[in-house]
Every structure is written in C-alpha cells, then in structure tokens.
Structure 1
Amino acid sequence: MKKTKKETLITSFALFSMFFGAGNLIFPPFLGKNAADTWHWVAFGFFITAVFIPILGILAHARLQGTMYDFGKKVSPTFSFIYCFVVYVISVALPAPRTASVTHEMAIQPYFETDSLFTSSIYFALVLAFVMNRSKILTLIGRFLTPLIIVILLSIICIGIFSSNTISTPTIFNTPFVSGLFEGYQTFDAIGAVVIGGVLVISMNFNKNTSFQEKKELITTSGLIAGLGLLIIYAGLIYNGAIFGSTFPKEASRSEILSSLSSQTLGNIGTTLLSVLVALACFTTAVGIITGTSDYFKSLFNNSEKAYTITAIIGCVLGIVIGQFNVQFIVDIAFPALMFIYPITIILILLNLLPTKLATPTMFKAVVLVTFVFSIPDFLQFFIDKESLVRIQNIIPFSKDNLGWVLPALLTFLVIRFSSKKEA
C-alpha cells in the first residue's frame, strides 16, 4: 500500500496531538512571561528538549520499528526491561494524571461545582474507552481531534502577535537558555517520544500490507511535520507570554497565565475555547500514554489481550487517584524523576539514530553507564542538603546547571570511537 498524503497528514496530526498535552500548553506562556526580552534564548532551550530531542526519538522509532524495549536492548536485556518498566510507571503515574488535573482546573472548575475526583473518574473512563478501541486510535485522534486543537491555538497566537502589546518587563532568569531547557523536561516529550513512537509503529502494524520502508517513510515524514507544528506553536505561545507579561499577576500560576492569555486575545469566548482546547489536548496525550504502556505489558505476556486490558484499567485507576491532585503538586513531584530518567532517554535516542558500526553494544553500555553515574548528583539534590553536593558540582563541568552528564557522555563516546578505529 503506497503512502498517501492523506495518511501522512492524519498520522502527523495524531502524533502532534499525542505530544501536545498539559505541559505543552501551560509551560510556554509561563516561560515567556518570566523570560521577557530574553524569550528567544528561553525558546531555544525549550525547543531542544521539547521538540528536537522528541522528534529525534520518533525518527529512531522509524529506523527500529520495534517497541521501546528495542531502545535499550544493546545495553542489556535486563537494563532494557528495567528502563521500560521505570519509564512506563513514571508515565502513568505523573504525566497521564496531570492531564486530568489540568483539565479539571482549566476546563471544568470554572463552569461546574464538581470535585476533582469526579472529573478524573469521568475523564479516565473516556480514556479507557479510546484505549480499548486500539486499532482506531490514529484515525480518531488525527482526523477529528487535532485539527480543532490547532485552529484554536493558532487563533490565540496570531491575534496576540498582531496586538499592540510590547515587551515591557525584565527577565527573571540568570541563564535563560538553561531555564528553557529544563522547562522542556517538564513536557515529558522525550519520554513521550519513546512511548508514543511505539504506539505509532504498533498502530501501523494493524495494516499488514504496509512494508518496512513505507512505514519508515511515513513515520519520518509525519514526525518532521509534527515537529514543525510543535515548533511554531511553542514559539508563538512563548512570544505571547513575553509581550503580555506585564498584564499577568506577578505570582500567577502557569494555568492562570494561559487562561488570561486566551481571554485577552479571544475575548469572552476565549475561556470557553481554551476549555475545549485543554480538554482535547490533555485527553489525546493520556490516550497515547495509557495505550503505549498497555502495548508494552501486552508484549511481555505473549501478546495477551488480557494483559493489555488489565494494564489499561490499572493505568486509568492510577490516573483517577493521582489526577485529583492539583497541577503544581504533580509538577513538583515530577521533577526529581525527570532529572533521573531524562538524560538516559536522550542518550538512548541519540545512540539509536547512529549507524550500527558506531552504535555498538560496547558504545551503548559505556555511554549509558557514564550518563547514569554523572546524572546522580542532579537527582540527589532534591533529597539531600545541596551544600554537600557543591564539591562534586565544582569538579564536574556544567553540573551547577544540572547538565553534569553531558560532557562525560560525549567524551566517553569519542574515546570509544577513537579506540575502535585504532583497533580496526
């Protein structure tokens, strides 16, 4: 079956929508407000961790066309199993429930006097219904939900850009680029890439007539289109956050800034449209996460449909329980987990994009191990006195910016590459 423009567009929309969830909405305007006249540096950092690395993850999936397990199997089967288990647990325990929390705060609470538990229960009941209709997910999301999300977002962005507002507040960031980089972590998009990419591959496998090369071309093209869409939307939201910065309350939360931005650009109807946008964007992301997790545990039990169903139910129950907490609480507890798993995820994505002769099992083992070791101080700072880590951070370059793993990982790659060339 030849790849058609219609298939590519639907797949691109589905991919964009599964990426574009709660964090993708609430973080960019918040960044723009705080960045002010340095918004372009913040945007650059945000693009790397929220667009560039995630899309590379999709391109790696196009090359592998397996599951997330294949991302780490060159390190070792045991490592890959543990990595997948940790990522899926984090995914269903944090970003998936967060989508329900954001939906309640921004789409339900302003209109209805219902508690968050009721919202998360109805929300994840609907998620479960979509997840159980596994073969129709790409079409349902790509054809019907995403176009509406994009139209609403572009309306907010374009009206804001052509308004008379100008940047009139100073930046609060000492290192805008690094601040943008770590706010991009909070979108979970690099982790989302290895989860959602697997959903994409398995969804395509329902069509037995599509060849490996056709699927590779479709996934690659769709990933690039989705990445371009994310880039445009993020840049627009960050810039709007900067030019409207002086109109937001000083201590406004991420959700409040987004709500204010929509009402200032779209008027009274803005709040209603934003509610629809939030609900749709969050919902499609939750569907992608729960589906990806269920796919993985299904594969562990000989493609058992029962395992798929049980995992989906457990994921949705966790979503109901954790999703009733407020957004800021979930954001706060997520960051330590991200500092632990994100560096390893980035390294696995990059290594899986390299030619086989470069990405040898030895290379995988060494670079991943070094990345893990040098990211430990970034993780520990949330649990022990930071003063006790100062000596270590002074030794490791970029460690004070929570990027201490970058240079050691790069040096390890170069040393092994140089050594292997000498041996050859």
Structure 2
Amino acid sequence: MNKTKETFVFGFALFAGFFGAGNLILPPLLGFKSGPDWWIVSIGFMITTVIIPLLAIFAHAKLQGTMFDFGKKVSPLFSTIFCFVVYAIVIALPCPRTAAVTHEIAIAPNFETSAFLTSLVYFTLVFVFAFNRSQVLNLLGKYLTPIIVLILLAIIFVGVFSPVKEMNSSIFDAPLISGLLEGYQTYDAIAGLVTGGIVIVSINSFKTNLNFVEKKKMIAKSGIIAMTGLFIIYSGLIVIGAIYNKQFDSNISRTELLSALALKTLGDIGSTFLSVLVSLACFTTAVAIIVSIADFCKAYFNNYKNAYLVTTVGCCLVGIFVGQLDVNYIINLALPVLMFIYPICIVLILLNVIPEKWASKLVFRWVVFVAFIFSVPDFLGFVIPMENLETLKMIIPLANKNLGWVLPAILTFILVNIFESHNHQTKISPF
C-alpha cells in the first residue's frame, strides 16, 4: 500500500474514532433551534468540533507521544492527574453514551428489549474488537467509515436539495456562542487528545521505516482528512435541521429529530439506514476510545502484560452500567464536567501547537492555572447556583456566556511572554 492510500486509511480510521453519538444527534437540533441563523451557529460549532480537534492532531504530530506529553510542561504530576481525569470522564460519559444512543435510535424502535440488554451486548462486542486491536485500524479505515459516510451523505443530500421551506426564527440570543458551547458536548477536543494517539501507535506498528518528519506529515494529513469529513457532515446535519424546523414539535428530543429527519428524507428505508448508521458510528467511537485508554494504561504501567486487558474489561463494565441510562440524562450530567475540563483541554492543545519560543514551561503553568481558576464559576453555576456567583460572572468578561476563562487566559499568555522576553533581554544586555 502506497503512502497516499495509507494516509487515507489512517484518516478514515481517525474520522470513525471521532464520529460517534454526539456527532450524530447534536448538529440537527442545533440547526433546528437556530433556523435562519444556522450559518452563525455553524461557525461556533466548527470552532470546537473541527478547528480545535484538528489542532490537537497537529500537536500529536509534533509530539508523537501520548496525551501525557500535552501537559508535561506544566509538571509530570499535573499531566498524570489530567490524563486520568480526562480518561475517567471519557469512560463515564461519552463512551457509555454511544450505547444509549444506539438503543434509543436503532434498537428500541424495532425490538422490545431493555436498555440494559442492549448495553450488555454492545460492550461485549466492543471488548472483542478492542482486545483484537491489530484489526481495528484496518476495519475502521477500509470498511466501516465508507459505509457511515455514504448513509449520512444520502440523508444530507436529499434534505439539502429538497425545496427550501419557511423556517422558524432562532431561539438563540448569541448563536455563535451557543454553537461553540454545544460543540463541547461532542467531546471532539477531548477526542483529539485521546484518539489521536491511536494513529501514532498504529503508524509505529505498521510503518517502522518512516522517520520522524514523515510520520509527522502522515499524522497531520490524516487529521485534515478526518476533520474535512466532520466539517461536511456537521454542516449538512445543521442545514437539514434548520430546513425542517417548522415540520416538528419544538420540544422534540435530539434522537427523535434525527430519526424524523431520516424518515422525511429517505422514507421508510431511511429508518433502517439510520439504525445501521447509528450502530456503526457509535460502535467505532466506543472501540477507538477504549483502545486509546488501554494503550495509555499499558504504557503508563510499564507494559505490564495484563494492563491492556484489565483496562479494556474495566471500561466495558462501566459502559454497560452507564450505557443503560437515558441519553438526555447523560448529556445533562456532562454539562458541569465539560465546563470544568474543556478550558484546560483547549489551552493545552493551543500551547502545544504554537512555536515553543512562545510556550515555555512558565507560560504553560500560568495559562493553565488561570484558565482553570476562571472556569470554576462556570462549573459551579451548573452544580450549585448561587446569587453571589451571578454577581461574580457579571464582573468577568464573557463569564455570563460560560466563557469567562478565555480573555484572562489570553491576557496571561501575553503578559508572561512579555515578562520572559524582558528578562531574557536583561540577561543578555552588556550594560
């Protein structure tokens, strides 16, 4: 297989790792609620679901290590804690959510079985695939991803090229920010940190003859292929959600809307297609997540021979029990967690992409610390709403939009770099 073909296989595999439950059910409802403002929410949504994840892949190409390398400039202890917190979140929320979405869209409408049975069978199959990880990349990149893309494109094509209907007006006061924050729920930035390592491990396994620069280019190109696919799919799903936003009840759920859109665009066969699509997309994401976590634990515990097995079993057991919960309940449960962890993830991704002369250890430490401190009000606002907290959020710029960490982090980045530049010039001055 030549390098171009291999790059596309890696890119398709990476796309499949990203594209899961949230990526399917979130964009249509976002378009549905935004109506004529669909293009504005799309810009915000693409920032957190395409641009930042792509930068995470670029950072992986630059580092060519594990997620641990993203935070080691802060300190090894911080990076270790950060990795375990992120993996705990991924195991407890987005990974089980893939089973919940599969049940609600693909299983419940067709079979009178319990959510627990779906979750049990689902994660048993995930375990089989994850434990045979040598076949995962080939299967995802060559077979499952093209099937997923073809089914989705059929739904989008019919929907987008149907007669444009009158739309209800947007319910969002700030559509750009609403789209940006809704992108948190896809976990794509976290997926960039977590599943990006799969490509590195796979390239190292299958392409031992490549040097560092060649691997860097292949990883980066794979990321561009994956994110281009996500951009097309997200845009299409948002548009058809907006086009049909007068056709359904305003209180329709995410999973109900996706099912209804499939029925509207492709008829009765659309429901069957959607069931296959959801099952494949969710399944590939769950496998990719668990493989990446098991890889990390195996490396962290010095290649302890049972680390991969123990981690895989543990992840699947958590998935079985959380995956039987309602999709909307899992999404709502994730809100405060994402408000806490996402700012740190975004800051670490950006700092690892920019030139090292602007991202010293001191810059890493201060910017991460400030982003963490100013994300606390957003986190607490979803956990224990307090009157004093609202007063504080009125003082901090953008805090009332749950983005209070952004400007302080940028300002800290600038000030610390100015401070270091001044110190450097003072040291080399002959006077």
TM-score, scaled to structure 2: 0.97
Which residue of structure 2 lines up, in the alignment, with residue 175 of structure 1? Answer: 174
Residue 104 in structure 1 maps to residue 107 in structure 2: no
Query: Bigger shift: 382-391 or 262-271?
Result: 382-391
- The 5-angstrom pairing of residues 298-313 of structure 1 reads 298-313=298-313
2:176 aligns to what SS in structure 1?
helix
Q: AA paired with 2:140? A: I
Task: Note the alpha carbon deviations across 1:110-144, whole angstroms, 9 max, x for none.
Answer: 11111011111111111111111122221110101
Deviation at 1:304, TM superposition (A): 1.9
Which residue of structure 2 lines up, in the alignment, with residue 244 of structure 1? Answer: 244
Which residue of structure 2 lines up, in the alignment, with residue 113 of structure 1? Answer: 112
| Equivalent-residue separation in structure 2 for 1:386 and 1:289 (angstroms) | 36
Which residue of structure 1 lines up, in the alignment, with residue 94 of structure 2? Answer: 95
Which residue of structure 2 lines up, in the alignment, with residue 261 of structure 1? Answer: 261
| Equivalent-residue separation in structure 1 for 2:2 and 2:84 (angstroms) | 34
| Equivalent-residue separation in structure 1 for 2:22 and 2:365 (angstroms) | 32
| Equivalent-residue separation in structure 2 for 1:70 and 1:305 (angstroms) | 23
Q: AA paired with 2:65? A: G
Which residue of structure 1 lines up, in the alignment, with residue 429 of structure 2? Answer: none
1:252 aligns to what SS in structure 2?
coil
Which residue of structure 1 lines up, in the alignment, with residue 343 of structure 2? Answer: 343
Task: Note the alpha carbon deviations across 1:372-412, whole angstroms, 9 max, x for none.
Answer: 00000000012222422122112110000000000000001
| Identical pairs, percent | 54
| Equivalent-residue separation in structure 2 for 1:211 and 1:139 (angstroms) | 22
| Equivalent-residue separation in structure 1 for 2:5 and 2:364 (angstroms) | 38
Which residue of structure 2 lines up, in the alignment, with residue 196 of structure 1? Answer: 195
Q: AA paired with 2:342? A: Y
Which residue of structure 2 lines up, in the alignment, with residue 184 of structure 1? Answer: 183
| Equivalent-residue separation in structure 2 for 1:221 and 1:416 (angstroms) | 33
| Equivalent-residue separation in structure 2 for 1:195 and 1:3 (angstroms) | 27
Deviation at 1:357, TM superposition (A): 1.6
- The 5-angstrom pairing of residues 4-403 of structure 1 reads 4-207=3-206, 208-403=208-403
Deviation at 1:84, TM superposition (A): 0.2
Matched-pair contact (CA < 8 Å) for 1:37–1:167: no
Matched-pair contact (CA < 8 Å) for 1:167–1:242: no
Deviation at 1:248, TM superposition (A): 1.4
Task: Note the alpha carbon deviations across 1:289-341, whole angstroms, 9 max, x for none.
Answer: 11111111111211123011000000000000000001011001011110110
1:324 aligns to what SS in structure 2?
coil
Query: Bigger shift: 309-318 or 296-305?
Result: 296-305
TM-score, scaled to structure 1: 0.98
Deviation at 1:187, TM superposition (A): 0.2
| Equivalent-residue separation in structure 2 for 1:167 and 1:310 (angstroms) | 54
Task: Note the alpha carbon deviations across 1:77-124, whole angstroms, 9 max, x for none.
Answer: 110000000000000110000000000010111111110111111111
2:246 aligns to what SS in structure 1?
helix
Please tell me the root mean square deviation across aligned C-alpha atoms, in Å: 1.0
| Equivalent-residue separation in structure 1 for 2:121 and 2:200 (angstroms) | 29
Task: Note the alpha carbon deviations across 1:217-257, whole angstroms, 9 max, x for none.
Answer: 11101101111111111111001000011111221000000
| Equivalent-residue separation in structure 1 for 2:153 and 2:386 (angstroms) | 42
Q: AA paired with 2:69? A: D
Query: Bigger shift: 234-243 or 386-395?
Result: 386-395
| Equivalent-residue separation in structure 1 for 2:36 and 2:378 (angstroms) | 29
Deviation at 1:419, TM superposition (A): 1.5
Deviation at 1:3, TM superposition (A): 5.8
Query: Bigger shift: 106-115 or 203-212?
Result: 203-212
How many residues matched? 423
Deviation at 1:199, TM superposition (A): 1.6
| Equivalent-residue separation in structure 2 for 1:385 and 1:316 (angstroms) | 34
Q: AA paired with 2:413? A: F
| Equivalent-residue separation in structure 2 for 1:269 and 1:165 (angstroms) | 23
Which residue of structure 1 lines up, in the alignment, with residue 427 of structure 2? Answer: none
